[in-house]
Every structure is written in C-alpha cells, then in structure tokens.
Amino acid sequence: MAASISSPPRGGFLLPAMAASFCAGIVAATHLMRLRDRERLRKAASRTQKNLMRSSRFGIDVAKFIPFRFQKKQKVVVLGAGSFGTSMAFVSQTAGNETIIYMRDPKQCEAINRQGRNPKYLTDHSLRIEGADNQIRGICTLEDLEKELTPGVVIIHALPCQLTPPWFAEHKDIIPRDALICCTCKGLYLETNQLMSHAILDALDRVDQPLAFLSGPSFAEEIMRGFPTTLVVTSDSSFHAVRVQQLMSNFRTVRVFVSDDPIGVQLGGALKNPLAVGAGMISGLGFGTNTLS
C-alpha cells in the first residue's frame, strides 16, 4: 500500500509570504523617503555650500562672513530641566552662549538661579561656568518664556518624546516662525506613528519651521563630568545643522558632527532602545557573543 503524503496545511505558505511582502514594502517605503529627503537636502546644500566651505578659487574662507559662525554669543532656550535638558544647557553655556532653561517648578528655578544647581537632577554638579560673563538662567512661567523666545532664537527641546507634539500644539503661538528648534528626544510619536520631524510640524501647523535633530551616545551624567562626547546633528537644511554644531561644540569635551540624513538619524535614535533592551535580556540570560550578534 502506497504511503500517503500529507499535504501542507492551508495557509501554511501564505502567512510567510505576506510577512515577507510586508517587510519588503516597509524597506522600499523607507528607502524612497530617504531618497526624497536626500534630494531635498542636496538642493538646500547647493544653495549654502559656498557659505559653509572654504573657497579654493579665491583662497579665502568665505564661511567667516556667515553671521552665526564667529558670533560670540547666541541666545539658546532649553525647554525642560530634566537630566538631559540640564546637561544641554551646561554644554551651551560652556560654549559661550546666552543660555536660558525653562521649567515649571518655581522652587527648582529659584535653586538654579541662586545656587547654580539643579535640585532635582544632577544635583552633585554645579552649573556655574568659571570665567563666564553670564550664567545659566532659569525661568518658570510662560510669560517669561514668551519674552525669551525672540526672533532667531535657538530652542533646544529636551522634553520626553510622547509629550513633544502636544506641547508644541498647545504653545505654538509663542514659537517664532524663524526659531531653530533642535529636538533631542529619541523615538517615534506613537499616537500617529510619525517621526518627530513630521509630528512637530503637524503640531505647529507649519511646513517651514526650521528643525534640527541632535542624537548620539550621550549620558547626561558623563557630559557633566566632562567625559569626551561626540554627537551628531542633522537637518533638512545644512545651514541649520552647522549652526547647531557651532553653538553646541565646545571643542574640549563635546564635539558635534553634521549628518545629511534626518530620517536615518531619527530612526537610529528610536530603534537603538529596543535593541539595547534585547541585548540586556541576552546578557541577563547568560548567553554569549553569538546570541548577541
């Protein structure tokens, strides 16, 4: 009697095929989005390249005529006085900028102004900069924040990722249209499954708001302790990215590099967290390098 051959269950090949097709679609969509943004960056860079690079034809540094390059002080307003916001304010002040940090707690604000320390985060570190003409100044009311958000200001946004779009939607009327917003939060906006660049513009209801994104391995405690730290900044406009690079690099402990890939930097910042959690689980289970790889 011939042996019967069992047929594969219905749908046994359908689900893997659907999964593979879905993954391929995601990869293709991401690739097209990156191509679109890179082309947009290329066009923007072509307009500003003569101002950002040394001219070999005339033998002079044309970039020195950019008003932000050698300007001694720029006004930087840091939104959020948590650990990372505090460290970003410290880096900005160390680089010689006029730095204001906004928080909601009046007692925390008073301690920063009077004692030069954040009583909630990084309490062991002084925010006073020796030899600086001005020190980090704290504010805690929306009225004061609106006064400080003058045209051309640089905003370092250091609030949690999921609170970022709602905050901008609620306070968009006090954000100048020419203010450069540098976002430091890493992740996707889960309510709409958007990148921060898209979610912020939707929240502000603007398409031309200058945006930049600061990312990289940067624990606040190590920044405050003066450990050498490298970051990356990216933007649709190379001019905005270089501006953030100039005002946040103190060339002693913090160095910022420029990238022309906003989507890649944002996705990298968002995806590193689940990968780090998985690596920790593997290590906790006692597995080795093979499993981690």
Residues catalogued as catalytic: 272
**Per-position b or e across 258-287, b if 16+ CB within 10 A of its CB:** bbbebbbbbbbbbeeeeeeeeeeebeeeee
Joined tokens for residue 84? 């990372």
Joined tokens for residue 3? 């042996």
- Scanning the chain, the segments in alpha helix (DSSP H) are 14-52, 83-94, 106-115, 142-148, 164-170, 196-204, 220-224, 238-248, 262-284, 289-292
Contacts of 126 (CB under 8 A, 6+ apart): 116, 117
